[in-house]
Amino acid sequence: MADDFKHIIRVANTDLDGSKPIYHALTKIKGVSVMFANMLCKLAGIDIQKKAGTLLDAEVNKLNEIIKDPAAHGAPSWMLNRRKDYETGLDKHLVQADLQFSKESDIRRLKKIKSYRGVRHQAGLPLRGQRTKSNFRKNKGRGSLGVQRKKK
């Protein structure tokens, strides 16, 4: 290994394993898929098979900039995970805590307006038309429903 090899690199407030290829290491960031990681490498001009620990500081900074605002660096809108945001109407890509917060606020909004999906969220039932006769029993909050023996 070279002298400048780093075993852990920090990208988007996440520690990444330096021994893995950069496209694979980037998928450890919540909100970054394999396709999105591949696109990040292409936009930053980094070889996807390059080990994450051999990246220069300038390349890490470039990756951080692209993750913060991928649309400004030429990422297509269909690749972003938050298209037409409810509050702003803009196309965004959210990672880490922002992704979790927006998901929770969307569910809170659905519950508040009492939409079908919000009511199903409140009841702990599936939202998208799945059958519930045999599946989803663990989410209903009841104990076991077996036959009880007569007490002597």
- Between CA 29 and CA 96 the distance in angstroms is 7
Rg (CA), the chain: 22
pLDDT band at 143 (very low <50, low <70, confident <90, very high): low
Q: What is the pTM of this model?
A: 0.78
Give the model confidence (pLDDT) of 63-105 as tens digits. Answer: 999 999 999 999 999 999 999 988 889 999 999 999 999 999 9
Do residues 107 and 121 lie in contact, with contact meaning Cβ atoms separated by under 8 Å? yes
Does domain 8-78 sit in CATH 1.10.3720.10? no
pLDDT band at 134 (very low <50, low <70, confident <90, very high): confident
What are the extents of the domains in the chain? 8-78, 97-128
DSSP 2-16: -TT--SEEEETTEEE
Output the pLDDT for position 145. Answer: 60
